[in-house]
């Protein structure tokens, strides 16, 4: 596909359960980002990957959140022991080149709506 | 700390009239500024960005934005609004540096265009 894709589009889970959210970036994009968007708010940064490594994870709220990108393409955001406050839309974005001084645009996927009951 | 403010939660405009969605920012250093649009149940779509050069930036769907350094603003504009422009608009900022990776988003402005 031409754009960033995310699966599932919707995920409903129970408090305390474990969830995985998947992101497929645009082919050839080296940088990948995860954001979280709560109702009525703008997206908030979670983590940034350059290749396979997490270059900046300063936005992860606590150690229940973890993300991987083992082959430098697809990424998975993992949330352990989910809480009701984790309910939000989780957005993935990718850009062609590394961040920092790059002027490259971040392109966003449609998001995964997570609901924790 | 970097921040972005969108002072209006909602903007209502009649179709055919000009529209402005306001954005102000606070950063140390020269900012990269962005506008994104979000339609219902869809991801953020890139509209335009200011990096350097001409203060008036033209983007997708007839939108443009004017960078004003003295007022630290980056307002989004369109000369003639369409009903299909109704959506949620986000202003965002990033300060270029070797360690800066994230975009800081404003809280969004809902644009409603009435026929």
Q: Do A107 and B46 touch (CB under 8 A)?
A: yes
The whole-number average pLDDT for the span B83-92 is: 96
- According to the model, what pLDDT value does residue A80 have? 97
Is the Cα dihedral A60, A117, A110, B4 positive or negative? negative
- According to the model, what pLDDT value does residue A100 have? 56
Q: Which residues of A touch B108 (CB under 8 A)?
A: 40-42
Encode burial over A2-39: b for 16+ CB neighbours within 10 A, e otherwise: eebbbeeeebebeeeeebebebbbbeebbbbbbbbbee
- According to the model, what pLDDT value does residue A68 have? 96
Interface of B with A in 54-113 (CB under 8 A): 90, 92, 96-108
- According to the model, what pLDDT value does residue A84 have? 96
Residue of A nearest to B46 (CA): A107
The whole-number average pLDDT for the span B19-47 is: 90
Per-residue CA distances from A106 to A64, A84, A86, B32 (Å): 26, 29, 24, 12
Q: Enter the tokens of residue A13.
A: 């889970």
pLDDT in tens, B32-43: 899 999 988 778
pLDDT in tens, A23-77: 999 998 989 999 999 988 899 999 999 889 888 898 999 999 999 999 989 999 9
Q: Do B99 and A33 touch (CB under 8 A)?
A: no
The three-state DSSP-derived secondary structure of B12-38 is EEECCCCEEECCEEECCCCCEEEEEEE
**pLDDT classification of B31: cutoffs 50, 70, 90:** confident
The whole-number average pLDDT for the span B17-22 is: 97
Q: Which residues of B touch A43 (CB under 8 A)?
A: 44, 90, 103, 105
Interface probe, candidates A106, A111, A113, chain B, greatest B C-beta count within 10 A? A106
SS3 category, B42: coil
């Amino acid at each position: 596909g031409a754009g960033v894709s995310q699966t599932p589009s919707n995920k409903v889970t129970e408090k305390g359960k474990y969830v995985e959210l998947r992101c497929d970036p645009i082919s050839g994009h080296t940088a990948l980002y995860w954001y979280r968007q709560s109702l009525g708010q703008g997206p908030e940064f979670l983590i940034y990957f350059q290749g396979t490594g997490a270059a900046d994870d300063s936005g992860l709220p606590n150690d229940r959140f973890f993300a991987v990108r083992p082959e430098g393409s697809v990424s998975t955001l993992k949330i352990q022991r989910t809480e009701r406050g984790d309910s939000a839309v989780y957005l993935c974005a990718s850009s062609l080149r590394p961040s920092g001084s790059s002027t490259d645009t971040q392109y966003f996927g449609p998001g995964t709506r997570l609901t924790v009951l | 700390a970097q921040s972005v403010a969108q002072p209006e939660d909602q903007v209502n405009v009649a179709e055919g009239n000009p529209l402005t969605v306001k954005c102000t920012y606070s950063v140390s250093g020269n900012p990269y500024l962005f506008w994104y649009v979000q339609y219902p149940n869809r991801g953020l779509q890139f509209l335009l960005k200011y990096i350097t050069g001409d203060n008036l930036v033209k983007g997708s769907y007839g939108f443009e934005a004017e960078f004003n350094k003295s007022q630290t603003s980056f307002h989004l504009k369109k000369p003639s609004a369409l009903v299909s422009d109704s959506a949620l608009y986000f202003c965002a900022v990033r300060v270029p540096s070797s360690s800066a990776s994230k975009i800081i988003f404003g809280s969004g402005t809902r644009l409603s265009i009435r026929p």
